[in-house]
């Protein structure tokens, strides 16, 4: 059963890796609003600036819909509150004959906004957009010829928060620069399907648009909450990708993001952006490194840049931004990806039959763990296999198969580290093991390391085989219980150590309960609990416990040298501890075996954690494990050498 499950999981993993390799296009986007603000602040020529950025690798310009608050600053439009016009009329004559006539007739209203378009293109855009944002009875055309004037019955606050389509001059600027357009659209909860289709069509008509990213004060995707199917249909009809913005805090995620993503798995691309307040605190090297890390290790396919407002190594601010784009592009190309419009992951459907084959590895691994406790009855085998298949079948029948697959993946993620620790139990007994039968402690340490890693990686393959989908690869769906695979494997390893006879340290519960508790044991327990808390709190992309400056510097150096940074828990703690076990003298093995088995359990659980982040490419995860294994082996050999020298001196 285990062999069948692993072969099926390897087949799924191979298909996933092929899809990851095919989705190689990365889009480099510049935010237009911030870019325009920078260019105006320093009197840069926008067209020339964009041309330089495009030569450096920029592919797209992200143009946001025009907010009502920004209309007064637009070159071809103006907006006035009725109350402001009334105040102006009281102190000085109005210049426009239409407003003069309205003032004389007492027809200027304080509860109305007056919108003016000075050119035909802007007037046409407003004529298309106003019915999408306001009720027809709230809109009146006061002058149908240029400059066109509308009276809109609304408050100034509401008007300022509404949007009126993409500014045509900014769209034209992107076209002249040869850049793709990334429309940034704002949702309105009153939109009908027809409104949504009209908005998407108007925003992409005649433009080279491939990806849409949503924005707005309410932080919603288009169509939220009731018209998300209509939004998905509109994006599909216009062959547009949906840019899902990566967030570390669930409170920052756009409302409706997951729902829309599930309706567009074949058009979903991950977007990485750094907020301006945060970017101001980072060096250009840190900004570049963060984006490249996202592209290389988190399946980011849209790099969303904002201008950098500081000089860098004597460069002007303009040259600094060009150099940042160039280095981001060079890093993407160095990772064997292409600079082009973002490519989503193609759909790859895994048949229920194949998933059922993969799931057989779960009861098989649980049975092998139970065998350590003397459970070998055929009834257990039949019961667990039947429960596995019935559970999976119920998931598909109820259309909750992904939830069932996550539960099975969690079970595999806990069972295989236990098998990994059982596979090296001979080292804890001080025996050479089945292969190689060598008395060389260095060789035995290396064999124990390779064995523990190899057995546990089988669990990682099962996790990958069970829950690899485009939605998990883009982190819309996540692995169930990431913290469990960090916290429970060490405890399971400790339980196996004390309550089975595999490690030569089996406890009798009654005798253990009669033993006195020593102060040193309490102190060690407190330290271990504090360490476990620290590990769990620091798991994930962001935590309240920030790494030290030394650790951050070490991480950066490891990443630059090895490309993929290994986990400290593995190569600094777990792997040297595992390699040291065969070298221990019997007295030290009895005294410290429980502590070493805890350390090894942390590392084996961390292996599963590496592959439970489904948005990390498989080859990156494999490279991380290899780098950690090599470094851990080197440190482990050094630890064995030092230990043997010190024990010899005693």
Domains contained in the chain, CATH given: 24-65+165-339 (3.20.20.370), 70-161 (no CATH), 347-649 (no CATH)
Q: Is the pLDDT of residue 548 over 80?
A: no
Q: Is the pLDDT of residue 138 over 70?
A: yes
pLDDT at 563: 77
pLDDT tier at 433, thresholds 50, 70, 90:
low
pLDDT tier at 526, thresholds 50, 70, 90:
low
pLDDT at 513: 59
pLDDT tier at 509, thresholds 50, 70, 90:
low
pLDDT tier at 525, thresholds 50, 70, 90:
low
DSSP of 201-252, one letter per residue?
HHHHTTS-B-EEEEE-TT-B-TTTTT-HHHHHHHHHHTT-EEEEEP-SSGGG
Q: Is the pLDDT of residue 504 over 70?
A: yes
Least confident among 22-26, 224-228, 519-523: 519-523
Q: Is the pLDDT of residue 9 over 70?
A: yes
| Cis peptide preceding 225, ω within 30 of 0 | yes
DSSP code of residue 583: G
| Cis peptide preceding 147, ω within 30 of 0 | yes
Residue 143, helix vs strand vs coil? strand
The secondary element (H helix, E strand) that includes residue 62 is strand 60-64
Rounded to an integer, the average pLDDT of 371-383 is: 89
pLDDT at 481: 79
pLDDT at 91: 84
pLDDT: which is higher, 523 or 333: 333
Mean pLDDT of the chain: 90
Rounded to an integer, the average pLDDT of 380-408 is: 94
pLDDT: which is higher, 526 or 38: 38
Number of alpha helices (DSSP H) and beta strands (DSSP E) in the chain: 29, 12
Q: Is the pLDDT of residue 545 over 90?
A: no
pLDDT at 539: 60
pLDDT tier at 235, thresholds 50, 70, 90:
very high
What b/e sequence results for 11-43 when a residue is b if at least 16 CB atoms lie within 10 Å of its CB, and e otherwise? Answer: ebbebbbeebeebebbbbbbbbbbbbebbeeee
Specify whether the CB–CB gap between 161 and 187 falls below 8 A: no
pLDDT at 536: 59
pLDDT in tens, 144-176: 999 999 999 999 999 999 999 999 999 999 999
pLDDT at 248: 77
pLDDT in tens, 46-90: 999 999 999 999 999 999 999 999 999 888 999 999 999 999 888
Q: Which of 476, 405, 602 is nearest to 9 (CA)?
A: 405
| Cis peptide preceding 436, ω within 30 of 0 | yes
pLDDT: which is higher, 561 or 351: 351
Contacts of residue 191, defined as CB under 8 A and 6 or more positions apart, other chains included, come to: 132, 199, 222, 223, 227, 230
Residue 643, helix vs strand vs coil? helix
| 481/487 Cα distance (integer angstroms) | 10
Residue 562, helix vs strand vs coil? helix
Q: Is the pLDDT of residue 93 over 80?
A: yes
Residue 376, helix vs strand vs coil? coil
pLDDT at 521: 56
pLDDT in tens, 175-227: 999 999 999 999 999 899 999 999 999 898 877 899 999 998 889 999 999 99
Question: How do beta strands 112-117 and 148-153 pair?
Answer: antiparallel
DSSP of 103-133, one letter per residue?
HHTT---TTEEEEEE-SHHHHHHHHHHHHHH
pLDDT: which is higher, 347 or 547: 347
pLDDT at 199: 93
Q: Is the pLDDT of residue 522 over 90?
A: no
pLDDT at 239: 93
| 420/404 Cα distance (integer angstroms) | 24
Please return the burial class of 243, using the count of CB atoms within 10 Å of its CB with bins 0-12, 13-18 and 19+. Answer: buried
Rounded to an integer, the average pLDDT of 396-406 is: 94
Rounded to an integer, the average pLDDT of 500-521 is: 71
pLDDT in tens, 111-127: 999 999 999 999 999 99
pLDDT at 535: 62
pLDDT: which is higher, 413 or 206: 413
The secondary element (H helix, E strand) that includes residue 149 is strand 148-153
pLDDT at 607: 95
């Amino acid at each position: 059963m285990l062999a069948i499950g692993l072969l099926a999981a390897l087949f799924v993993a191979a298909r996933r890796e092929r899809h990851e390799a095919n989705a190689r296009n990365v889009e480099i986007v510049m935010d237009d609003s911030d870019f325009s603000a920078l260019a105006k602040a320093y009197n840069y020529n926008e067209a020339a600036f964009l041309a330089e950025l495009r030569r450096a690798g920029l592919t797209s310009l992200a143009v946001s819909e025009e907010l009502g608050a920004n209309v007064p600053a637009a070159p071809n439009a103006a907006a006035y509150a009725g109350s402001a016009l009334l105040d102006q009329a009281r102190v000085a004559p109005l210049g426009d004959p239409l407003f003069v006539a309205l003032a004389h007739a007492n027809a200027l209203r304080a509860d109305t906004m007056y919108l003016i378009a000075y050119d035909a293109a802007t007037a046409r855009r407003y004529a298309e957009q106003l019915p999408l944002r306001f009720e027809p009875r709230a809109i009146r055309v006061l002058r149908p010829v240029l400059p066109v004037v509308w009276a809109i019955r609304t408050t100034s606050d509401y008007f300022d928060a509404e949007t009126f389509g993409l500014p045509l001059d900014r769209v034209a600027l992107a076209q002249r620069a040869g850049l793709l357009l990334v429309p940034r659209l704002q949702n309105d909860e009153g939109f009908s399907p027809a409104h949504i289709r009209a908005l998407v069509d108007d925003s992409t008509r005649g433009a080279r648009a491939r990806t849409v990213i949503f924005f707005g004060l309410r932080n919603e995707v288009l169509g939220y909450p009731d018209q998300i199917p209509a939004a998905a249909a509109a994006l599909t009809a216009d062959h547009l990708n949906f840019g899902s913005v990566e967030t570390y805090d669930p409170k920052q995620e756009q409302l409706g993001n997951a729902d829309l993503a599930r309706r567009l798995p074949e058009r979903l691309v991950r977007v990485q952006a750094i907020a301006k307040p945060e970017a101001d605190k980072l060096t250009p090297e840190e900004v570049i490194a963060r984006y490249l890390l996202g592209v290389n290790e988190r399946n980011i396919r849209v790099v969303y840049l904002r201008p950098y407002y500081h000089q860098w190594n004597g460069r002007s601010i303009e040259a600094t931004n060009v150099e940042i784009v160039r280095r981001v592009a060079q890093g993407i190309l160095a990772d064997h990806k292409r600079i082009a419009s973002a490519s989503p992951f193609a759909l790859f459907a895994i048949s229920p039959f194949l998933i059922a084959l993969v799931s057989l590895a779960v009861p098989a691994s649980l049975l092998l763990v139970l065998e350590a406790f003397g459970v070998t009855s055929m009834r257990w085998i039949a019961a667990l296999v039947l429960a596995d298949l019935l559970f999976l079948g119920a998931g598909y029948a109820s259309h909750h198969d992904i939830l069932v697959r996550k539960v099975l993946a969690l079970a595999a993620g806990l069972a295989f580290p236990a098998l990994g620790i059982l596979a090296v139990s001979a080292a804890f007994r001080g025996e050479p093991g089945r292969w190689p039968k060598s008395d060389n402690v260095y060789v035995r340490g290396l064999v124990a390391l390779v064995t523990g890693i190899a057995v546990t990686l089988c669990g990682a393959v099962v996790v990958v085989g069970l829950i690899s989908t485009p939605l998990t690869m883009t982190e819309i769906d996540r692995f169930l219980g990431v913290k469990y695979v960090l916290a429970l494997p060490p405890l399971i390893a400790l339980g196996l150590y004390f309550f089975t006879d595999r490690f030569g340290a089996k406890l009798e519960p009654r005798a253990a309960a009669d033993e006195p508790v020593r102060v040193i044991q309490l102190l060690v327990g407190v330290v271990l609990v504090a360490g476990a808390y620290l590990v769990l709190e620091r798991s994930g992309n962001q935590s309240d416990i920030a790494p030290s400056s030394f650790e951050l510097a070490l991480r950066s150096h490891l990443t630059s040298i090895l490309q993929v940074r290994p986990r400290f828990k593995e190569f600094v703690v777990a792997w040297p501890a595992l390699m040291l076990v065969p070298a221990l003298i019997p007295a030290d093995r009895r005294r410290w075996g429980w502590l070493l088995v805890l350390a090894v359990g942390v590392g084996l659980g961390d292996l599963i954690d590496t592959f439970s982040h489904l948005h990390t490419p498989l080859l990156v995860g494999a490279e991380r494990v290899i780098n950690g294994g090599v470094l851990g082996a080197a440190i482990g050999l050094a630890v064995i050498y030092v230990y043997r020298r010190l024990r010899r001196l005693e």
